[in-house]
Amino acid sequence: MPSSKQTICSLVLIFLSSAGSTQKDYCAKSEGQCCRTFATEEFNQTSRSIFMIRPQGRLGNHITAFAHLYQLREELGVDVYMERETKDLMGSVFSDATLQVMPVYEEEFCNFDAIPLTEIDLNIPLLLQEKTYRQGQTLSLRNKPNQGTKIYEDYVARLTASMKSVLHFRTEILEKVWSKMEKIAIKFWTKHPRIKPETPITWIGIHNRRTDLNNYAWKKHGLVPLEEEYFVEAMDYYRERFGEAVIFLYVSDDMKWGRQNLMNPKRDLFFVGNGKTEDMDEIAFDMTILAQCNHSITTRGTFGIWTAILAGGLVHHEVSVCVCEQDYCVKSERQCCRTFVVEEFNQASRSIVVIEPYGRLGNHLTAFAHLYQLREELGVDVYIVNQTRKLMSQVFSETTLQTLPVLEEEFCNIDDIPFRDFDLDIRYILTDESYRKGHILLLLDERVRHLKLNQRTKEYREFIQKFTNSMRSVLQFRPEILEAVDTKMTKIATKFRQKHPTIDQAALITWIGIHNRRTDFNNFAWQKHGLTPFEEEYFVEAMDYYRERFGEAVIFLYVSDDMKWGRLNLMNPKRDLFFVGKGKTEDEDEIAFDMTLLAQCNHSIYTRGTFGIWTAAMAGGLIHHERGVSENVVDI
Ligand SMILES: *[C@@H]1O[C@H](CO)[C@@H](O)[C@H](O)[C@H]1NC(C)=O
Ligand SMILES: *[C@@H]1O[C@H](CO)[C@@H](O)[C@H](O)[C@H]1NC(C)=O
Ligand SMILES: *[C@@H]1O[C@H](CO)[C@@H](O)[C@H](O)[C@H]1NC(C)=O
Ligand SMILES: *[C@@H]1O[C@H](CO)[C@@H](O)[C@H](O)[C@H]1NC(C)=O
């Protein structure tokens, strides 16, 4: 007895036949009800394989299944089908066009129950490499952890990229989300009248997966639920990184927990989630709003992984902070880093070079510059350590920081990486080509602590010259510090002109940055090199040099880690010397200000240490140093 379904189907079939398309017994899929019969006898060893997945659990897992099927079809040329539940769940979030990229198993085959499916593990490396899976098989793929292989990680990167272009949200939900965000933004500005209204808002989506997954995570992995500290720390991370105009949108399957446990002292946290895990419309809203954010804070579960991927930007995760662009998100539910596989590293692999500097910002900058240039010139893989990123983030823009990856963020298992301490002069790496492949080198800071220690060879001098030039374009200061510096310089210029009414008020001012490195470095220089501290004569002579060279409209900006010494010892008869440094070597904001200010000057007076080398290098112009005046840091 024909059901109504079959009736519609045959009607359409007739229409299709008359249109001359009798190749296949597809009906108009748009009817949503037509199916074809899978004929076992026609399916043979040369037929394209059929893959399908029946995911367990909620929306996040269904999207993961969809993504795997999509990507496997792309790469293996097999036929893939999503389960009807996948379509139903995804249909409340994603557009019809998105769903149409993949047929539904139960809709495609009238006799889907009769298809002899073989259940096998979703073993990605095996499926990608073993050609026998591509033809003649009807497979139901069972979830399996695949982490830890390069082949899987590369595959996930491709899958992530595919999904970013395939998955489109439903327009009506997007509209609701935008209107919600607009309202929140208005509220935020009312609460923060002091933040400049034209500042672009950085949106951070927080997904806190709790309820049933807490039990699962505990039983399966011994994980305890994340406490409020995790969120406080994650939010502070983003506030520090992106400044004041940051809004956090909180979504959870247990909204009550967040409202009860998360304080909101900065009034930048908004509880937007509906938390009703049974209502697909609300889940759709929650997923869409998180995906509209610029960066993410995730906890556990695939829902948060997908919202983070679709949001793009950074992902603050239990173990570190990662960038979804670089596919560190889906690598595993718990880790956004990749695993270093010793067996896969061989003589043909690009060498890995890491520098772990001692000391303060200046040394870290030196390490950064060396690594940058080593990568440019030798094509090796380089990583900065997280301390370098941390110190540099106080001074330099986000874009600058993204130029080099961080060792601890990139690899989950840094302890397994067989680093070899490299305690030879860096020139060996520069000149000996055998270092470019198959080496994993940890450069000891000793080699780069003082540029001048290494200046013996022609190659190394050239190398310094090159990285100094590179750094002038790579290193960009944080805009808010630049602004503060600009304001300060304008004020000083006004003061200077008031004190010197005889100088042509329109004369272009020449700014000279003085960096006087003292405190601990004086001991170091004395013990290690028998150098005595600089006396006031050095500065008097250097300032006279610049006054003579550039005329009256010269302003000196003095920065030191011991500001008191300068104020006590340096006379200021010409009233052109300004003590602008904060001298608080522990306060990173003040160090950032000092560095940015000196780098804005036209010329420099240098004493010792890498901080002054870098401010002089970034300022460009002339450098007055112990042994004369030079144009390049390499000659200091
Ligand atoms: C396999 O089936 C296809 C049609 O599905 C047919 O064209 C082909 O000849 C068959 N091959 C073998 C070896 O039976
Ligand atoms: C944040 O993302 C929105 C799109 O959702 C974009 O328009 C905006 O420019 C981004 N803001 C920042 C600060 O990156
Ligand atoms: C750097 O990473 C190490 C190891 O993962 C960690 O113990 C340390 O706290 C991190 N330091 C910073 C400044 O993030
Ligand atoms: C000094 O540097 C500033 C940029 O910081 C520049 O605008 C100005 O023209 C320079 N002055 C001279 C005299 O070179």
Cα distances (Å, whole numbers) of residue 75 to 51, 152, 388: 13, 13, 39
Rounded to 5°, the CA angle 273-168-296 comes to: 45
Specify the pLDDT at position 20: 29
Instruction: Label residue 45 exposed, middle or buried (CB < 10 Å: 0-12, 13-18, 19+).
Output: exposed
Same domain membership, residue 403 and residue 513: no
Distance from Cα 634 to the centre of ligand 4, integer Å:
23
Distance from Cα 198 to the centre of ligand 4, integer Å:
28
Render pLDDT for 220-274 as a digit per residue (tens, 0 to 9): 555 667 788 889 989 998 998 888 899 999 999 889 999 999 989 899 999 998 8
Does residue 155 form part of some domain?
Answer: no
**Could you identify the residue written with the tokens 């002579």?**
541
Single-letter amino acid, residue 220 = K
Q: What is the mean pLDDT of residues 327-332?
A: 42
Specify the pLDDT at position 143: 80
| Structural contact between residues 388 and 367, judged by C-beta atoms closer than 8 angstroms | yes
**566: CATH:** 3.40.50
| Candidate from 23, 42, 44 with most ligand 1 atoms within 8 A of CB, to mutate | 44
How many distinct structural domains can be found in the chain? 5
| Structural contact between residues 366 and 614, judged by C-beta atoms closer than 8 angstroms | yes
Q: What is the mean pLDDT of residues 423-449?
A: 79
Same domain membership, residue 109 and residue 214: no
Kindly report the protein residue whose alpha carbon is nearest to atom 12 of ligand 4: 510
Same domain membership, residue 412 and residue 375: yes
Q: How confident is the model at residue 15 (pLDDT cuts 50, 70, 90)?
A: very low
* Residue 390, ligand 3, Cβ within 6 A: yes
Q: What is the mean pLDDT of residues 325-333?
A: 43
* Residue 203, ligand 2, Cβ within 6 A: yes
Same domain membership, residue 369 and residue 261: no
Q: Is pLDDT larger for residue 91 or for residue 29?
A: 91
Distance from Cα 135 to the centre of ligand 1, integer Å:
12
Ligand minimally distant from the alpha carbon of residue 201: 2
Ligand minimally distant from the alpha carbon of residue 413: 3
Kindly report the protein residue whose alpha carbon is nearest to atom 6 of ligand 1: 42
The pocket around ligand 1, CB under 6 angstroms, is made up of 42, 44, 46-47
Does residue 131 form part of some domain?
Answer: yes
Q: What is the mean pLDDT of residues 134-148?
A: 85
- Asked which of 310, 338, 366 is the last residue of a domain, the reply is 338
Q: What is the mean pLDDT of residues 21-37?
A: 49
Specify the pLDDT at position 340: 85
* Residue 413, ligand 3, Cβ within 6 A: no
Question: Count of CB atoms within 10 A of residue 144's CB?
Answer: 11
Same domain membership, residue 262 and residue 229: yes
Ligand minimally distant from the alpha carbon of residue 247: 2
Does residue 12 form part of some domain?
Answer: yes
Distance from Cα 38 to the centre of ligand 1, integer Å:
14
Single-letter amino acid, residue 543 = M
Please give the Cα distance from 305 to 266 (Å, whole number).
27
The two three-digit tokens of residue 568, written as one number: 């006590």
Same domain membership, residue 53 and residue 7: no
Atom of ligand 4 nearest to the CA of 509: 13
Highest mean pLDDT among 74-78, 156-160, 343-347, 366-370: 74-78
Q: What is the mean pLDDT of residues 592-609?
A: 94
Same domain membership, residue 320 and residue 414: no
Does residue 449 have a pLDDT over 50? no
Same domain membership, residue 306 and residue 259: yes
Does residue 158 form part of some domain?
Answer: no
Q: pTM for the whole thing?
A: 0.57
Does residue 448 have a pLDDT over 90? no
**Could you identify the residue written with the tokens 């938390």?**
275
Atom of ligand 2 nearest to the CA of 201: 13
Highest mean pLDDT among 275-279, 289-293, 318-322: 289-293
* Residue 387, ligand 3, Cβ within 6 A: yes
Q: What is the mean pLDDT of residues 160-167?
A: 92
Same domain membership, residue 323 and residue 203: yes
* DSSP letter, residue 469: H
Q: How confident is the model at residue 444 (pLDDT cuts 50, 70, 90)?
A: confident
Distance from Cα 274 to the centre of ligand 4, integer Å:
55
Same domain membership, residue 250 and residue 192: yes
Does residue 157 form part of some domain?
Answer: no
| Candidate from 164, 180, 203, 478 with most ligand 2 atoms within 8 A of CB, to mutate | 203
Specify the pLDDT at position 578: 96
51: domain range? 37-146
Same domain membership, residue 139 and residue 211: no
Does residue 165 form part of some domain?
Answer: no
Q: How confident is the model at residue 445 (pLDDT cuts 50, 70, 90)?
A: low
* Residue 600, ligand 4, Cβ within 6 A: yes
Does residue 151 form part of some domain?
Answer: no
Q: What is the mean pLDDT of residues 390-405?
A: 88
Please give the Cα distance from 10 to 7 (Å, whole number).
5
Q: How confident is the model at residue 326 (pLDDT cuts 50, 70, 90)?
A: very low
DSSP secondary structure of 358-416: -SSHHHHHHHHHHHHHHHHHH--EEEE-HHHHHHHHTTB-HHHHTTS-BHHHHBS-GGG
Cα distances (Å, whole numbers) of residue 253 to 90, 210, 506: 18, 6, 64
Same domain membership, residue 332 and residue 355: no
Distance from Cα 124 to the centre of ligand 3, integer Å:
32
* DSSP letter, residue 499: H
Does residue 139 form part of some domain?
Answer: yes
Kindly report the protein residue whose alpha carbon is nearest to atom 1 of ligand 2: 294
- Asked which of 457, 474, 491 is the last residue of a domain, the reply is 474
For residue 251, the SS3 value is: strand
Specify the pLDDT at position 28: 40
- Asked which of 474, 497, 530 is the last residue of a domain, the reply is 474
Ligand minimally distant from the alpha carbon of residue 337: 3
